[in-house]
Amino acid sequence: MRLPTEIERLYLDFDGFFASVEQQVHPRLRGKPVGVVPFDGTDRTCVIACSREAKARGVKNIMRVADARDICPEIILVPQSPDLYRRAHNTLLAEIESVVPIDTVKSIDELTCRLDEGQRHDPHGLALDLKRTIAANVGTFITCSIGFAANRQLAKMACKAGKPDGVMVWQPHDMPAPLFRLPLTDIPGVGSRMQARLCRADIQSVADLYRTAPKQMRKLWNNVTGERLWYALHGFDIQAPQSERGMFGHGRVLPPESRTLPAAREIARLLLIKAARRLRRDRFYCSGLWLWLAVRDATWSAKLSLPIVNDDQAVLSGLDTLWQRARLAYPRGTTVFRVGVTLYGLSRGDQRQLDFLLNDDASRQRWERINGAIDGLNSRYGKTVASLGLWNPPKGGHVGGKISYTRIPSAEDFW
């Protein structure tokens, strides 16, 4: 494990990405407080992203629309445009790549780069080149904050410390003083619960955390993540392990007119077909289905084991079974606010193991051929022209291609 003596990492985070993309595309929104919402025509939802101007007035992401209007009566609400954000993301990556190679895309609005020896000596010049390139070739209303440090974790914290539209350079020889100026909750992985746990261990500040021992950090986090964080905070070039995909899923806040059990079931069916399409595109099979509902003041969920499958007929049959359980748990008049489906228990297509006690391989292969034909038609025309059952997306559309910070949608998600 190395201890770098100079900056080696750049972390870039776009400022209010979804709202700033809207402002870049729509001049009427520029310089005004903007809130991005799941769908228009109702106040019974939340602001899922907001512009710099809205944040300055106290509006926050994931705030109820009614509360946002109370704080900022002049806020302009715009329905989400996930495909626009996907295209903006891809365009911005191309422009950044023209200046510095991208090492890892962390989310739709964050990325990290490794710096070569020439780039390490003038981080401010490199940041200026990036900002000028984005402004000239994409637009001046999409801004970014950039952090430089010895490793990715420190660069991410430096980036946040420089927001908005700033540049922050943490040279190894200046550390750890810049860290000690941060609140504990600015450390990645320290939320309110972890902060309470740290306080019980008499760790009240970043300086206190910095002075703990690696094994103590492991004990506090109950896993090796805490120990890795200790080394990252101390400037070591610590690499996170490669993560394996564990599931494919989609969730959706329901429009007011779709908050009945029958309407929620139809949206769950569409979400599940989208998840199964992604499963097949990435050449996976699944062995389990999880359904969850958010109702007033409660949540409900249930899981079902499946054969090793990836076709729509198999997973939709599983949904029918789980939905029967949901109907037994809740009366027909129940209001459903959110629905989600997840396919789990993954295995790769070249590692599929059939259940010798379940003699349905011929049937499964027939359904897989049908799905292959359906997927081929949709791919040819770039939209859903064929599906099992009706294809009738709800108000606001974006079934399976909704706004997301953690997953970058593909073009197929919007078919």
Contacts of 376 (CB under 8 A, 6+ apart): none
Q: How far is 157 from 5, CA to CA, in rounded Å?
A: 18
CB 198 within 8 A of CB 222: no
What would the two tokens of residue 190 be? 């320290």
244 flagged as catalytic: no
Residue listed under structure tokens 């079934």: 399
The catalytic position among 8, 53, 110, 412 is 110
Instruction: Please provide the DSSP assignment of 226-266 as one string.
Output: HHHHHHHHTT----PPPPPP-EEEEEEEPPGGG-SHHHHHH
d(CA 354, CA 69): 55
Query: Hey, what are 152's tokens?
Result: 């990715």
CA distance 268 to 241: 33
Contact status, residue 310 vs residue 280, Cβ threshold 8 Å: yes
Rounded CA-CA distance 290/190 in Å is 29
By DSSP bridging, strand 46-47 and strand 63-64 are antiparallel
Q: 120 in the Ramachandran plot: left (φ > 0), alpha (ψ -120 to 50) or beta?
A: alpha
Residue pair 37/75 in contact (Cβ under 8 Å)? The answer is: no
In terms of C-beta density within 10 A (0-12 exposed, 13-18 middle, 19 or more buried), how is residue 19 classed?
buried
Q: What are the residue numbers of the active site?
A: 110
